[in-house]
């Protein structure tokens, strides 16, 4: 079945049909947000059921670098890393130029240590602090990752925590329909199986953890037309149902044009480089051998800058140190393994292998070297002096800009409760992760690296806990 053959997302008001099965808390989506929501709800004493459209959960969490920012964690403390929630909140707000929801940003930053420590200690997710490089805009080593910096490893750990907690996960089950009673109370969810058969699952509270709309051409056309024809590197099953249900219920959505892009996806193979190769003095030149931007403002906004170059491509140029730092990430190692990263002993060889005009490329390389030595200002405003000049052999890869993850979504309160247009909360509907409005403000430049899993894990845990309390309160009615 293609996406267009599926039953569209819809809300049905009135009497709830007979349910096949029921749980206190129903969670739609088995990514980082869904797993954290399910664990949070189960710990609070609820019966929990997760539904996942795929046979095996492979959402954007499993495609990601698996790095979760947090501040003031036990892991940071043990590693001697000083960090606070105020620093993380400040970074989130600064990157989004104060155009995100500061209250949510501060709240999520304040919760982040609790969530990461909970995942590491209670749920045995083997996280450690990433100390040897920092993403643009990170004033402290906020990132925590599993050993291979591979989102599929993170998701495997989360799913095994879900299994250990005896939480039921129904796969091959695409949620299509919210059944709503008494105005706005979600009483059940209709799911559709790959063979077209349907079932109805009753619930007392519902958590939407089914991410954003990066997989929906129609929604991209409406909300992010600039990325409609770009490569989408996230999970294609994320079709925007959370927003569609929310709109049908009269909920608030915000920042719909915002997204997480990435400016170093190797092409034509489509695997992303670890951004550490840029933060460590690497840079980008177009096919004319010319730099065109401040590459280290953020990998998200770099996507459009690369797409604006001739052919929509650029060469990322780095050295062995940057390569080794980047190769901590699973995706970067994969790019190396499939032969997408080249080596050149000299600038002449680099020009020959990339096809860039030799004179122009030699000037670009020499200029950046002078910038790293503090002898020349960068016309794009980047400070190269914090790292040594690149030392040959050069490493290089042909890259393009891609869409990773949409950042607009349902507005929620501090417990992940979905808000209606008048600002009041829905009685029993919660959302987190990519289903909720992100922390990036209105555009691509506001994404602080790690905001995606930050919102997925923290809002997931909080929404799960609050959904359990909501389900309990409904028992007492
Ligand atoms: C290549 C890449 C690298 C990234 N690296 C990082 C990183 O290092 N750090 C970071 O913080 N963020 C990163 N991100 C962003 C991060 O992956 C996302 O923000 C995060 O995974 C969102 O989690 P989620 O649980 O909301 O969504 P997902 O992990 O996508 O989970 C949603 C699940 O819902 C399921 N689903 C969707 N619709 C339905 C439906 N109707 N019924 C049932 N199930 C449904 C999907 O199949 C999916 O399994 C990256 C993203 C990409 C694409």
Does residue 5 register a pLDDT over 60? no
- pLDDT average, residue stretch 324-340: 96
| pLDDT band per the 50, 70, 90 thresholds, residue 135 | very high
Beta strands in 382-467 (DSSP E): 394-406, 409-410, 417-419, 425-431
What count of Cα atoms within 13 Å lies in the side-chain half-sphere of residue 43? 19
Distance 267 CA to ligand 1 centre (A): 22
Peptide bond into 144 cis (omega under 30): no
Beta strands in 407-460 (DSSP E): 409-410, 417-419, 425-431
Distance (Å, whole) CA 465 – CA 39: 9
Distance (Å, whole) CA 189 – CA 156: 26
Coil vs helix vs strand at 315 = strand
Residue 434 CA: which ligand 1 atom is closest?
Answer: 26
Distance (Å, whole) CA 191 – CA 175: 4
Among 405, 408, 463, say which to mutate for ligand 1: greatest number of ligand atoms within 8 Å of CB.
Answer: 405
pLDDT tens profile 102-122: 999 999 999 999 999 999 999
pLDDT tens profile 214-235: 999 999 999 999 999 999 999 9
Q: Is the CB of 30 under 6 A from ligand 1?
A: yes
Distance (Å, whole) CA 439 – CA 424: 20
Q: Is the CB of 235 under 6 A from ligand 1?
A: yes
**Range(s) within the chain of domains with CATH label 3.50.50.60:** 3-258+407-475
Does residue 4 register a pLDDT over 60? no
% of residues, the chain, pLDDT over 70: 99
Among 11, 64, 334, say which to mutate for ligand 1: greatest number of ligand atoms within 8 Å of CB.
Answer: 64
pLDDT tens profile 408-423: 999 999 999 999 999 9
Residue 174 CA: which ligand 1 atom is closest?
Answer: 42
- What does the block give as tokens for 423? 């600002």
Q: Is the CB of 144 under 6 A from ligand 1?
A: no
pLDDT tens profile 9-40: 999 999 899 999 999 999 999 999 999 999 99
**Closest by alpha carbon to 92, among 78, 101, 105?**
105
Q: Is the CB of 240 under 6 A from ligand 1?
A: no
Distance 378 CA to ligand 1 centre (A): 36
Contact assessment for residue 463 and residue 416, using Cβ atoms and an 8 Å cutoff: yes
Q: What is the CA angle 44-49-52, rounded to 5? A: 130
Q: Is the CB of 31 under 6 A from ligand 1?
A: yes
pLDDT tens profile 443-462: 999 999 999 999 999 999 99
Does residue 477 register a pLDDT over 90? no
Q: Is the CB of 60 under 6 A from ligand 1?
A: yes
Distance (Å, whole) CA 190 – CA 354: 53
Q: Is the CB of 271 under 6 A from ligand 1?
A: no
What's the distance, CA 374 to chain centroid? 35
| pLDDT band per the 50, 70, 90 thresholds, residue 291 | very high
- pLDDT average, residue stretch 93-108: 98
Q: Is the CB of 461 under 6 A from ligand 1?
A: no
Q: Is the CB of 459 under 6 A from ligand 1?
A: no
Does residue 346 register a pLDDT over 70? yes
pTM tops 0.75, yes or no: yes
**Closest by alpha carbon to 109, among 465, 455, 460?**
455
Distance 375 CA to ligand 1 centre (A): 44
Residue 214 CA: which ligand 1 atom is closest?
Answer: 53
pLDDT tens profile 166-178: 999 999 999 999 9
Distance (Å, whole) CA 223 – CA 226: 9
**Closest by alpha carbon to 316, among 401, 399, 231?**
399
Does residue 147 register a pLDDT over 60? yes
pLDDT score recorded for residue 475: 79
What does the buried/exposed string (b/e) look like for 146-164 if buried means 16 or more CB atoms within 10 Å of the residue's CB? beebbbbbbbebbbebbee
Beta strands in 146-256 (DSSP E): 168-170, 174-181, 185-192, 198-208, 231-232, 253-254
CA distances from 126 to 130, 253, 333, 458, 461 (A): 13, 35, 20, 17, 18
What does the buried/exposed string (b/e) look like for 318-329 if buried means 16 or more CB atoms within 10 Å of the residue's CB? bbebbbbbbbbb
Distance 283 CA to ligand 1 centre (A): 28
Distance (Å, whole) CA 305 – CA 294: 10
Among 60, 155, 456, say which to mutate for ligand 1: greatest number of ligand atoms within 8 Å of CB.
Answer: 60
Q: Is the CB of 54 under 6 A from ligand 1?
A: yes
For the chain, give the mean pLDDT.
96
- pLDDT average, residue stretch 461-475: 95
CATH fold of 261-403, please?
Flavocytochrome C3; Chain A, domain 1 (3.90.700)
Contact assessment for residue 61 and residue 453, using Cβ atoms and an 8 Å cutoff: yes
Q: Is the CB of 253 under 6 A from ligand 1?
A: no
- pLDDT average, residue stretch 48-74: 97
**Quick one: how many helices (H) and strands (E) in the chain?**
15, 21
pLDDT score recorded for residue 3: 55
Does residue 243 register a pLDDT over 60? yes
pLDDT score recorded for residue 8: 84
**Range(s) within the chain of domains with CATH label 3.90.700.10:** 261-403
DSSP letter for each residue of 205-237: EEEE----STT-HHHHHHH-GGGTTSEE-S-TT
Q: Tell the CATH superfamily of the 3-258+407-475 domain.
A: FAD/NAD(P)-binding domain (3.50.50.60)
Q: Is the CB of 27 under 6 A from ligand 1?
A: no
Residue 115: CB atoms within 10 Å: 24
Q: Give, using CA atoms, the residue closest to atom 5 of ligand 1.
A: 64
pLDDT score recorded for residue 6: 63
């Amino acid at each position: 079945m293609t996406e267009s053959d599926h039953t569209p997302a819809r809300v049905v008001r009135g009497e709830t049909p007979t349910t096949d099965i029921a749980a206190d808390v129903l969670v739609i989506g088995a990514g980082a947000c869904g797993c954290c929501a399910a664990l949070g709800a189960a710990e609070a004493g609820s019966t929990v059921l997760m539904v996942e459209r795929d046979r095996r959960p492979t959402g954007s969490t499993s495609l990601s670098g698996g790095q979760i920012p947090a501040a003031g964690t036990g892991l940071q403390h043990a590693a001697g890393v000083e960090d606070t929630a105020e620093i993380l909140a400040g970074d989130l707000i600064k990157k989004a130029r104060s155009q995100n929801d500061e209250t949510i940003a501060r709240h999520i930053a304040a919760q982040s240590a609790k969530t990461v420590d909970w995942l590491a200690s209670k749920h045995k997710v083997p996280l450690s602090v990433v100390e040897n490089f920092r993403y643009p805009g990170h004033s402290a080593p906020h990132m925590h990752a599993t050993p291979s910096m591979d989102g599929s490893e993170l998701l495997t750990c989360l799913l095994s925590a879900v299994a250990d907690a005896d939480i039921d996960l129904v796969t091959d089950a695409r949620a299509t329909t919210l059944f709503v009673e008494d105005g706005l109370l979600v009483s059940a969810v209709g799911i559709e199986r790959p063979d077209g058969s349907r079932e109805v699952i009753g619930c007392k509270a519902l958590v939407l953890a089914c991410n954003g709309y990066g997989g929906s051409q129609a929604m991209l056309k409406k909300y992010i037309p600039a990325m409609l024809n770009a490569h989408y590197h996230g999970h294609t099953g994320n079709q925007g149902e959370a927003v569609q249900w929310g709109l049908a219920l009269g909920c608030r959505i915000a920042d719909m044009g915002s997204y997480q892009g990435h400016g170093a996806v190797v092409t034509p193979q489509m695997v992303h480089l670890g951004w550490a190769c840029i933060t460590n003095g690497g840079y980008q030149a177009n096919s004319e051998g010319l730099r065109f931007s401040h590459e280290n403002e953020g990998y998200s906004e770099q996507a459009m800058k690369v797409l604006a170059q001739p052919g929509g491509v650029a060469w990322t140029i780095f050295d062995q140190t940057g390569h080794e730092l980047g190769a901590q990430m699973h995706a970067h190692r994969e790019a190396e393994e499939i032969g997408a990263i080249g080596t050149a002993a000299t600038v002449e060889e680099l020009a020959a292998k990339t096809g860039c005009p030799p004179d122009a490329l030699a000037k670009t390389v020499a200029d950046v070297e002078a910038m790293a030595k503090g002898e020349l200002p960068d016309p794009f405003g980047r400070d190269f002096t914090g790292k040594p000049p690149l030392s040959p052999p050069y490493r290089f890869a042909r890259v393009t800009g891609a869409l990773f993850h949409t950042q607009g979504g349902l507005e929620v309160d501090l417990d992940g409760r979905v808000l209606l247009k008048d600002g009041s909360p829905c009685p029993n509907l919660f959302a987190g992760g990519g289903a909720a409005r992100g922390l990036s403000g209105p555009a691509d430049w506001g994404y602080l690296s790690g905001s995606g899993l930050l919102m997925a894990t923290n809002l997931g845990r909080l929404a799960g806990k609050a959904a359990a309390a909501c389900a309990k309160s409904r028992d007492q009615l």
